[in-house]
Amino acid sequence: MARSRRDILRSGIESGQSEIVQESAEELLFVGARGEAPGNYGTVQYERILRENSTGVGGCGWGRSDRSFSSKRSFPTKRSYPSKQPSTIVKTKRDTIDRDDPSIHKGFVANDRLVVSAHFVETHTTYINQQPSARKVLAGTPPRTTDVTYVKCQNCSSKVCNFCVSGLTQLLATSNKEFQQDDPSFLALKSMAEALNTIDDPQQSIPSCTKSTFVTPPRAPEFSKEDPSDTDFVLISNESANKKCRRFLNNRKDYDPSTVNFLSAYFQDDAPPASMKPANTSEIVGLLNKSCKKSRRPKYTMNNFQGALVFPPFGLLVKGDAANHHFSCDHMALAESSEDSTKAIMHGVISDTNAKTIQDYVDVEKKILRSFTSDKVRIVLKVTSPEDVKKTMNVIVDVFFIKQVKKCSEFQNWKGDTDFDTNFITDLQIFGQSDIAADCNVTIILGEFTLEDEAKAPKLILLRPSGMLCNVVFTKQQRDSFAANIYNHVRSLAGRRGFEIRRTCGSSGKVSHETDKDLLRFLCHHEAVLPRFAHGCVIIRAGDRYLFCYAKATPASEKKFVLWSYCPPKPGGAFDMPDSCISMFPPIAKMIYLKAFSVSVIVSLNNYFQECNKPSVATGPLKFELVSLESARKVFNNSHPEEAMYSFLCCFNSFNHYSMVAYPVGMHCDHFRHGKESLENKMLFCLKPNVGSAVGRGGCLVDSSYVYCLLDW
């Protein structure tokens, strides 16, 4: 019985042989070959395809098939599973395709997405709206000078040419980025490279000097916004509202400079104001439990571990103690410094799940936690006013000296961690708001490098003013309102549409299955991360980041392939604080002022240390912060008295950058661009009512309220 040409080709493919079938001058030439990549649902098969005289359907894409150019199609998400059928032949006319012909696009899948996971490669298929392009025609790859072959996935019909496969492979081989060699995407790329090299190039293929059309890169699949496990993502799903907030903040002109004049009360007398007293956490918890008793709810217990900041080299844990009953700011200088040759200090925040595990262990084992017992020295410093050098104030400062317990180099492999060993955490010294003396105005913790090879200057681990004027000027209800309004307005400015994706120091945590899903959600939420037109794209999982490798759509230079690093998407991100927020939100104005105040405190402290023949602290950050402070003082002296304080804050704020952090920060070391060291300023806010079941960064004094953090540096 005679067999058809298709059966002959199919049998050749199954037997591992290759065969070129000349259908006609109008059709493609195919080479049967098979490449394999590991998959959870079966073997991902590839078919090698060679096109002859093709000028209209060239190009290639990673993880997607040819898509329709219609801009009105929208269908629900689907998933395509690997086919167990052998390779099949697909015939395509070599003439240029008429994009308006519906028969051409009939049955085309709009988007196939490669989902990267720890153990397998699977293909997601989703139908999305095709957005119209501002440029109808975009140049693809340069005119070809050599023959081009394609490798085709049997599962999703994705086609990638040897130009992209070889280019992406070479890009990863020559890059200095570290990634998992067993990553499914990398293995699939190697499999395609092997499939393209299984046989020699045929004599007839795509002729030289032909040019492919552009192809649109893959889009992430749509996910339900009602997904209960994705509360953080849902918080900023309304992009139109975010645009409205951004326009409002950036264009607002009707501000009132006098709203920040209450800050001048700090240096009216020689003694600090009453607001410079620490919070009584026991009293705050008692008030909360009193309301619980009336409503017959269980009593609150203090959070010792949720949102706590860990400093492993010094065996120290600093509790979050966030509560809108009492605002406070923490200042730190933890980055590596070239001025005093001190090393960077690894630090990070305990995740909510890990904190619950540790707390359960403490409750069951009835383990007694270590109290903060470091050496303390009380100093009365004469501190100069930040805005006016003629004013001074006597400030009571308690300085704690904590010794190093392990070398900094022992924790380099902890980068990105948010989950820690239970015994390790319970053996740390715990410092909280209750460890601050009632009559203390400023608390400072200095870390001494006693285990390093050379004696170093102490590191400024913490500088905490005991209070702020906002705690006495505004009521608790007003402070709750400030916390909510700051979140709603600032989140629209932070990062990329409210998410941090470019902070690759390890603070965004490590890559996991959950971050894979978050990445796909974010790519769907923010389509500008990948270029609109690309000819090949692969996403590789590294330890604490994703590597986006793709071929440039319009290579203007010799660099035809690029590699970008993106961290797992997290709520928040970097931004510049607009001046309108200073007049709108007094806590932000107070946050800026306290940083300038802390600079004055460190200057007075270093003067005291010099008299005692002790090394100065934070000399690197102080060098740059004093320049900013001097510029702000000049603006203050040249401004109208009613606007002087506002002008001072705006000028000092212009030298700072901000970040919103609404997630537990992974272990990391701080780095500053261009060697510009800075004093980091941190302030925690609680949202009431709580947002779903999420805790954000964590660190609320009691219960599980949503906590976010504002940082400036």
Secondary structure letter of residue 689 according to DSSP: S
Helices and strands of the chain, counted as H and E runs: 16, 26
Q: How confident is the model at residue 574 (pLDDT cuts 50, 70, 90)?
A: very high
Query: What are the backbone dihedrals phi and psi of residue 426, each rounded to the nearest 5 degrees, phi first?
Result: -70, -15
Cβ neighbours of residue 669 under 8 Å, at least 6 residues apart?
Answer: 334, 335, 336, 344, 345, 346, 347, 505, 506
Q: Would the pTM of this model clear 0.85, i.e. be above it? A: no
Helix ranges, 508-585 (H): 513-525, 579-584
pLDDT tens readout for residues 142-168: 444 556 677 776 666 667 778 888 888
Judged by average pLDDT, the poorest of 51-65, 314-328, 532-546 is 51-65
What's the mean pLDDT in 300-307? 89
Q: How confident is the model at residue 102 (pLDDT cuts 50, 70, 90)?
A: very low
**Which is more confident, 475 or 66?**
475
CA distance 35 to 151: 9
CA distance 709 to 322: 10
The per-residue DSSP string of 271-285 comes to SPPTTSS---HHHHH
Q: Has residue 259 got a pLDDT over 60?
A: yes
Strand extents, DSSP E, 210-294: none
Which class for 323: exposed (0-12), middle (13-18), buried (19 or more C-beta within 10 A)? Answer: buried
Question: Best-predicted range by mean pLDDT among 68-77, 83-92, 188-197, 305-314?
Answer: 305-314
Cβ neighbours of residue 33 under 8 Å, at least 6 residues apart?
Answer: 13, 18, 46, 47, 48, 195, 198, 199
Q: Give the neighbor-by-neighbor strand order of the sheet with 546-551.
A: 537-541, 546-551, 561-566
CA dist 400 → 443, 606, 617 (Å): 8, 15, 13
What's the mean pLDDT in 619-623? 95
CA distance 256 to 586: 12
CB 45 within 8 A of CB 153: yes
Judged by average pLDDT, the poorest of 180-189, 554-563, 682-691 is 554-563
What six digits make up the tokens of 273? 């104001």
Cα-to-chain-centroid distance, residue 472: 35
Q: How confident is the model at residue 521 (pLDDT cuts 50, 70, 90)?
A: confident
Cβ neighbours of residue 190 under 8 Å, at least 6 residues apart?
Answer: 169
Give me the pLDDT at residue 153, please.
64
Closest CA to 310 of 699, 707, 708: 699
The average confidence (pLDDT) of the chain is 75
pLDDT tens readout for residues 629-660: 999 999 999 999 999 999 999 999 999 999 99
Helix ranges, 19-159 (H): 102-105
Q: How confident is the model at residue 232 (pLDDT cuts 50, 70, 90)?
A: very low
CA dist 516 → 81, 417, 543 (Å): 19, 17, 12
Judged by average pLDDT, the poorest of 231-235, 386-390, 420-424, 622-626 is 231-235
What's the mean pLDDT in 669-692? 84
CB 221 within 8 A of CB 113: yes
Cβ neighbours of residue 159 under 8 Å, at least 6 residues apart?
Answer: 49, 60, 61, 65, 66, 150, 151, 152, 153
Q: What angle (nearest 5°) sits at the alpha carbon of residue 27, between those of residues 23 and 33?
A: 70
Closest CA to 162 of 103, 131, 213, 205: 205
What's the mean pLDDT in 335-342? 90
pLDDT tens readout for residues 26-49: 222 222 222 333 333 233 444 444
Task: Provide the 3-class DSSP secondary structure of residue 163.
Answer: helix
Q: Has residue 63 got a pLDDT over 70?
A: no
CB 285 within 8 A of CB 434: no
Which class for 528: exposed (0-12), middle (13-18), buried (19 or more C-beta within 10 A)? Answer: exposed
Backbone conformation region of residue 159, classed left if phi is above 0, alpha if psi is from -120 to 50, else beta:
beta
Q: Has residue 238 got a pLDDT over 80?
A: no
CA dist 379 → 147, 376, 395, 447 (Å): 78, 10, 8, 18
CA dist 99 → 52, 136, 240 (Å): 20, 12, 32
Strand extents, DSSP E, 180-286: none
Q: Has residue 396 got a pLDDT over 90?
A: yes
Q: Has residue 191 got a pLDDT over 90?
A: no
Judged by average pLDDT, the poorest of 156-160, 397-401, 593-597 is 156-160
What six digits make up the tokens of 564? 């970008």
Q: Has residue 120 got a pLDDT over 60?
A: no
Percentage with pLDDT > 90 across the chain: 43
Give me the pLDDT at residue 445, please.
98
Query: Strand 316-318 and strand 429-431: pairing?
Result: parallel
What's the mean pLDDT in 170-178? 89
Q: What angle (nearest 5°) sits at the alpha carbon of residue 703, between those of residues 697 and 707?
A: 25
Looking up tokens 């059966």, which residue turns up? 7
Task: Provide the 3-class DSSP secondary structure of residue 447.
Answer: strand
Bridge partners for 332 per DSSP:
680
Give me the pLDDT at residue 711, please.
94
Helix ranges, 439-496 (H): 470-473, 476-490
CB 165 within 8 A of CB 9: no
Bridge partners for 668 per DSSP:
347
Closest CA to 314 of 459, 155, 185: 459
CA distance 282 to 556: 64
Q: Give the neighbor-by-neighbor strand order of the sheet with 112-116.
A: 75-80, 121-127, 112-116
What is the identity of the amino acid at 404?
Q
CA distance 467 to 475: 15
The CA-to-CA distance between both ends of the chain, in Å, stands at 80
What's the mean pLDDT in 182-195? 83
Q: What angle do the packed helices 184-196 and 162-174 form, to 10 degrees?
A: 130
